Structure 1
Amino acid sequence: MHTIWKGSISFGLVNIPIKLHAATEDKDIKLRSLHKKCHTPIKYEKKCPVCEEEITADEIVKGYEIASGKFVILEDAELEQLKKATEEKAVEIIDFMKMEEIDPIYYNRSYYMSPNEGGMKAYGLLRKALVESNKVGLAKIVMRSKEQLAIIRVYQNTLLMETIHFPDEVRNVEEVPNVPAEDQTSEKELDTAILLIDQLTTTFQPEKYTDDYRSKLMEIIDSKRTGQEMVTVAEKKPTNVTDLMAALQASIDRTKPVEEKKTTRKRKATTKTKKAQ
């Protein structure tokens, strides 16, 4: 499993060298956008709309928009210095709590944690302590130039880190429009709804659920592939040859008058020489 981060977990005076591995993966089927005429993949270029020029990476700077069309420019050196000052490659557990106290709306991404060299015993200690106490650790970590909150918990005998949103990253629920203040349901309607919920209640078995849309889309793709219903990208015309021929022709056209003038001058000079003789 690919390692995406190396560092350590610390709580109190205990330090555990660990590695992070992505616990989930995106299974979406990625479709390319093609030119309908020739089936060539569309190319997206970074272009300045004012200068009408294609921009290279070294011509791009970071800016924060403080008002419409007004930016504060941040230099790469300033961002790098800030990153070094905050990124200590450590997951610092600052509190412990019950997992039920954290609403799932805060959850972001999940990462498996494995012990790095010399961290086996301390890793096992933290894992057992979390299980016995029925608690999770709340930690801070800097990843990809962003400080994040995270919870450390045990998942199937493995320490799992789940990054969670800061409170100000969760939008105010009071801003959700058209939410009724009170329920306007009859007792009979409520009883029927509860009965339906009871009938559909089961234990969570993740393998029971599949992505039906993805499966059907793959069926369509496979049927087109086996039926040879495929398109081929049109080959790009050798424009450089055309440009070379055009340049050669233009050069020939440009030199024609000059050669004629030189020939005329030579003829006049020859005539004058013969007359002089």
Structure 2
Amino acid sequence: MARPIWSGILSFGLVSVPVSLYAATEDHTVHFRQIQRGTSDRVRNLRVNERTGEEVAFGDIVKGFETAEGEYVVVEPEELDQISPGRSKTIEITGFVDLDQVKPIFFDKTYYLGPKGKEYGKVYTLLQKALEQANRAGIAMFSMRGKEYLTAVRAENGILTAHTMHFADEVRDPHHEIGNLPDGDTAVSDRELTMAEQLIEMLAVDWNPDDYHDTFEQKVHELIAAKQSGADYAAPEAAPRPSNVIDLMDILSRSLESAGRPAGAAGAAEAGEAGEPGAEAPARGGRTAGKGAAGRKAPATGSSGGRSAGKGAGKSAGTSAAKSAGKGAGKTAPAAEDLSQLTKAELYRRAGELDIPHRSTMTRDQLQAALEETAARAGDGPAAKPRRHLRAAS
């Protein structure tokens, strides 16, 4: 069990509970020692008087605040101790704020809060559940290790956590810090925005922190192991180059294809922008809408990315993702097949073709279930039935 780094009283109103503060994170950074090249001799940092070049003992060092070049106001360590917050034993919550109102930039470091004994479990649980239900955080000031902290106490995963926060004057204004931010007049076309949104939705994933690792730390360990064994170490690939703004549409189209969207869908959008009769840029969600009763195009995209277009009656033959033809035409369900072999990106694309609601928030299994339910409602039966051509509603 970890040792607490602080113990005291957490209070709100007349309610108080003894708590202990624990570190919530740990640093796995690879640490190196400084040695002289060609030797195994450690190199140490010394406190040296820059005028005389002589080493200065730690006890002879005081703090100085520079008021002008070469002029200092000297402050002794004990003078700082007299005005420091000391070892406060209370986290006193003075108000509760809506968590949605607190921008992430204000949060600094996270700590776990635990009850100091089992006899305080009920009060602890009461505050934890109340904060969770209200989606609020208690704001408090408390002192630790000679420093005062603005702190937010909130409920997370069945426990209380304390987040030290930055004060308002510690948060920099990005418009003062960054000199080349785009202004509000920067033009982005609707088509570019639509394709970018489609790419974001197709690459949507469920948040799982275990899927992400410190790859730099891993590469450092691999480099050390390779040098220790005398083996060669292959350097990682170079960083990607910045996108050429002139070729932005081409880059977006290729990005959609690599994410699982068929090349035909992007091609249809390009034809629509070029003014091809009966074609229109894709609507949000990846669907293509035809113009007029005649000359409609209904792209039906299979796993190989082929397209077929029907005119007039709006017939379309699809392999696994048939689309309806034109505005007002009924949406068709995907041909019966085993959807369990498809990736989430492929399932999401098909859900977009059928305009299944809330698809961007679904997991892979939920997308599959929604597609199978849509197919069943359209009369395709279980996914295990043989494939058959679909007839678009006229």
Give the structure-2-normalised TM-score. Answer: 0.55
Over residues 181-240 of structure 1, what are the superposed CA-to-partner deviations in whole Å (9 max), with x where a residue is unaligned?
A: 1222222221121111111112211001111111121122223345599xxxxxxxxxxx
Distance in 2, matches of 1:199 and 1:155, equals 29
Distance in 1, matches of 2:120 and 2:68, equals 49
Over residues 118-151 of structure 1, what are the superposed CA-to-partner deviations in whole Å (9 max), with x where a residue is unaligned?
A: 5333212211221222211111111222211111
Distance in 1, matches of 2:81 and 2:87, equals 10
SS of equivalent to 1:53: coil
Name the residue aligned to 2:52: 51
Name the residue aligned to 1:94: 94
Tell me if the contact between 2:132 and 2:156 (Cα under 8 Å) persists in the aligned partners.
no
Name the residue aligned to 1:235: none
Name the residue aligned to 1:181: 183
Letter in 2 for 1:99: L
Distance in 1, matches of 2:106 and 2:39, equals 46
SS of equivalent to 1:181: coil
Letter in 2 for 1:23: A
Letter in 2 for 1:137: G
Letter in 2 for 1:90: T
Q: Which has the larger radius of gyration?
A: 1
How many angstroms does 1:105 deviate by?
A: 0.7
Is 1:131 matched up with 2:132? yes
Higher relative contact order (CA 8 A, sep 6+): 1
Distance in 2, matches of 1:192 and 1:67, equals 57
Letter in 1 for 2:138: G
Q: Gapped runs of 5+ residues in structure 2? A: 233-394
Name the residue aligned to 2:68: 67
Distance in 2, matches of 1:178 and 1:116, equals 51
Segments of 4+ moved more than 4 angstroms: 226-229
Equivalent pairs counted in the alignment come to 228
Distance in 2, matches of 1:170 and 1:180, equals 21
Name the residue aligned to 2:16: 15
Q: Identify, as 1 or 2, the structure richer in helix.
A: 1
Over residues 143-198 of structure 1, what are the superposed CA-to-partner deviations in whole Å (9 max), with x where a residue is unaligned?
A: 22221111111122111101010000001222121111122222222112111111
Q: Gapped runs of 5+ residues in structure 1? A: 230-277
Matching residue within 199, 206, 226 for 2:209: 206
Name the residue aligned to 2:144: 143
Is 1:107 matched up with 2:110? no
Distance in 2, matches of 1:185 and 1:41, equals 56
Distance in 1, matches of 2:190 and 2:135, equals 39
Distance in 1, matches of 2:122 and 2:65, equals 46
Give the structure-1-normalised TM-score. Answer: 0.77
Tell me if the contact between 2:150 and 2:166 (Cα under 8 Å) persists in the aligned partners.
yes
Distance in 1, matches of 2:77 and 2:216, equals 43
Q: What RMSD, in angstroms, separates the aligned Cα atoms of the two structures?
A: 1.9
